[in-house]
Structure 1
Amino acid sequence: MIPSLLPTYNRVPLAFAEGQGSWLVTDGGERYLDLGAGIAVNALGHAHPALVEAITDQAAKLWHVSNLYEIPGQQALADALVEKTFADTVFFTNSGTEACELAVKMARKYWYDEGDHDCVEIIGFEGSFHGRSSAGIAAAGGEKLTTGFGPLLPGFTHLPFGDLDALKDAISDTTAAVIIEPVQGEGGIRPVSDADLKQIREICDEAGVLLIFDEVQCGVGRTGKLFAHEWAGVVPDIMMVAKGIGGGFPLGAVLATEDAASGMVAGTHGSTYGGNPLACAVGGKVLEIVSDEAFLAEVNRKAGLLRQKLEGLVAEHPAVFDSVRGSGLMLGLKCKAPNTDVLSACYDADVLVVPAGDNVLRLLPALNIDDKDINAALERLNTAAEAVETAIAAQEEQDA
Structure 2
Amino acid sequence: MQTPSHAGTVIVIGGALKPGSDAVWQRIVDEAGGAQAPIAVFPTAAYDPERAGAQIVAALNRCGARAEIVPIAPHLAGVDLQATLHDPAVIARVAACKAVFFSGGAQEYLVDTLQPDGRPTAMLDAIRAVFAAGGVIAGTSAGAAVMSRVMFRDAMDNLAVLKGLWRAGQEYDRGFGFVDAALLVDQHFLKRGRIGRMLPAMQALGYRLGLGVDENAAVVIQGALLEVIGGSGAVLVDLGEATHDAALPAFNLRSARLSYLEPGDRHDLASGETTPAPHKLREPRLDPAAPGFQPGQQSDRYFLDILGDGCILCAMTQLLDGPAPEVRGLAFRANPRPGDLAPDIGFEFRLHRGPGLCGWRSGGVAGEGYTVLGARLDVVPVRVASPLFTPLAAEPPR
TM-score of the superposed pair, with normalisation by structure 2: 0.32
Whichever structure has more strand as a proportion of its residues is 2
